[in-house]
Amino acid sequence: MSHLPRACGIDFGTSNSTVGWLRPNASALLALEDGRPTLPSAVFFNADENSVSFGRAAMAEYLDGYEGRLMRALKSLLGTSLIDGHTEVHGRALRFRDLLADFIAELKRRAEHEAGRTFDQAVFGRPVHFVDDDAVADRRAQDTLEAIARQVGFREVSFQFEPIGAALHYERTLAREELVLIADIGGGTADFSIVRLSPERTRHDDRREDVLGNAGIHIGGTDFDRALSLECVMPLLGYRSRMRNGAEVPSSIYFQLASWHTINFAYSRQAWADLQHIYRDASAREALDHLCRLVSRREGHWLALQVEEAKVALSAAPLTRMVLDRLADGLGLDLSRDAFAAATQGLVERVGACVAGLLQEAGVARGRIDSIYFTGGASGVPQLRARIAAELPGARAVEGDLYGSIGAGLAVEAARRYG
């Protein structure tokens, strides 16, 4: 084992996480759950069993109806004021910072178990911007993640942009030099890098001159879920309906239910009291009945999962049907890809503008890009992919490992940095 790299690469993602470690004649990604390389970034605190579970097991226990708290999209807390707050779990206060530490410690434990060795050094992936247009908050987010990594036992911690990690993975497949736009669109961010790649360049330790530019925007798969939820699903629960006095029903609870990391706020005593007050004066009583049932039964995460599955289905087919029988017997909703595209048009345009701005800032003509390397789970959204391709009409679209490219590339970087 001594000749193998001492360090691992960690892609702590909004939706899924991976750990990479370079080994000869083997996948760089370590199996983290049920033989699979991805561990969904989810934690479930099971009140019935007084236990904690992670990943797919966490989701399964929640969906099986155990009483408890499900937490997802943990990475979204970095760079926000919520990271210094807390939530209530099993009747006690749990700091969000400690919640992240629990998950990253579990990632480390599973990776070490699979590798049969300890990892004291790690290269963590990071988005180009944890926080858009706020350098101080962005630095604080990285510092928080580094402190957590050290807290759980990593002695040396460094960072690499996630799209650069994906580039290093893609480069190992090339037979000739290419100028590539790496499009890494994950659960929380859309990150882009223009990188010069070639088989010869893989041997260079210092690749700074090969990176022509980086850009990123805080838009990812969870934002597409949120937009689809608000525009197409929440109207079934009374969103944008009217009170008897003609005013619009207050929207805060709908926004809470449309984002993974704020769903639990809709279950507070104050939120329930506010909802009862709204219900008394609402016109769309049937829709508000659906909302009250959802909140009283704490089905917010279930609904968010249905929305996420509908997004995935609409990425592959023009139509899908959501079955919403937990809200009312026989309730369903037909959704079209056109409706999904309309709901997310603003997000898609902002991502397109980010790519255009990167090309301009890097001084790279649109026609010079040879290929677009798509990675990250949300890069499969058709309207988003088409909008990026429209900025680079001559470029070839290449499908990466949507969930594994970054972790595998970070493993390459970890071996290079730490030996």
Token pair for 217: 């925007």
pLDDT at 2: 53
pLDDT digits (tens, 9 = 90+) for 4-25: 888 999 999 988 999 999 988 8
Q: Are 355 and 334 in contact (CB under 8 A)?
A: no
Q: Which long-range CB contacts under 8 A does 386-392 form with residues at least 24 apart?
A: 387/348, 387/349, 387/351, 387/352, 388/181, 388/183, 388/351, 388/352, 388/355, 390/352, 391/352, 391/355, 391/356, 391/359, 391/366, 392/181, 392/355, 392/366
Cα angle 162, 166, 171 (rounded to 5 degrees) comes to 145
Distance CA 158, CA 121 (A): 8
Instruction: Tell me the pLDDT of the chain averaged across its residues.
Output: 93
Task: Note whether 407 and 387 are within 8 A (CB).
Answer: no
pLDDT at 197 exceeding the cut of 60 = yes
Distance of alpha carbon 355 from alpha carbon 213, whole angstroms = 11
DSSP character string of 182-200: EEEE-SS-EEEEEEEE-TG
CATH number for the domain formed by residue range(s) 7-176+403-418: 3.30.420.40
Structure confidence at residue 387 as a pLDDT band (50, 70, 90): very high
pLDDT at 205: 66
Average pLDDT over residues 184-196: 92
Phi, psi dihedral angles at 386 (to 5 degrees): -65, -40
pLDDT for residue 45 is more than 80? yes
pLDDT at res. 277: 94
Separation CA 62–CA 43 (nearest Å): 10
Query: Rounded distance, CA 67 to CA 48, Å?
Result: 6
User: Where does residue 170 rank: exposed (0-12), middle (13-18), buried (19+ CB within 10 A)?
Assistant: buried
Report whether 137 contacts 79 (CB < 8 A): yes
Write down the pLDDT at residue 260.
85
**Tens-place pLDDT, residues 122-178:** 999 998 888 888 899 999 999 999 999 999 999 999 999 998 899 988 998 899 999
Closest CA to 112 of 171, 225, 31: 31
Least confident of 69-73, 183-187, 275-279, 346-350: 69-73
Q: Over pLDDT 90: what percentage of the chain?
A: 74
Q: What is the pLDDT of residue 129?
A: 87
Domain ranges of the chain: 7-176+403-418
Q: What pTM did the predictor assign?
A: 0.85
The pLDDT of residue 1 is above 60: no
Q: By C-alpha distance, which of 307, 300, 207 is closest to 262?
A: 300
Q: Which two tokens stand for residue 75?
A: 């990475």
Please answer whether residues 179 and 146 qualify as being in contact, where contact means their C-beta atoms are separated by less than 8 angstroms. no
**DSSP state letter for 265:** G
* Residue of higher predicted confidence among 392 and 1: 392
pLDDT tens profile 230-275? 999 999 999 999 999 999 999 999 999 999 888 988 999 999 999 9
* Residues in a beta bridge with 324: none
- Alpha-carbon distance 252 to 247, whole Å? 14
Angle at which helix 96-115 crosses helix 135-151, to 10 degrees, equals 50
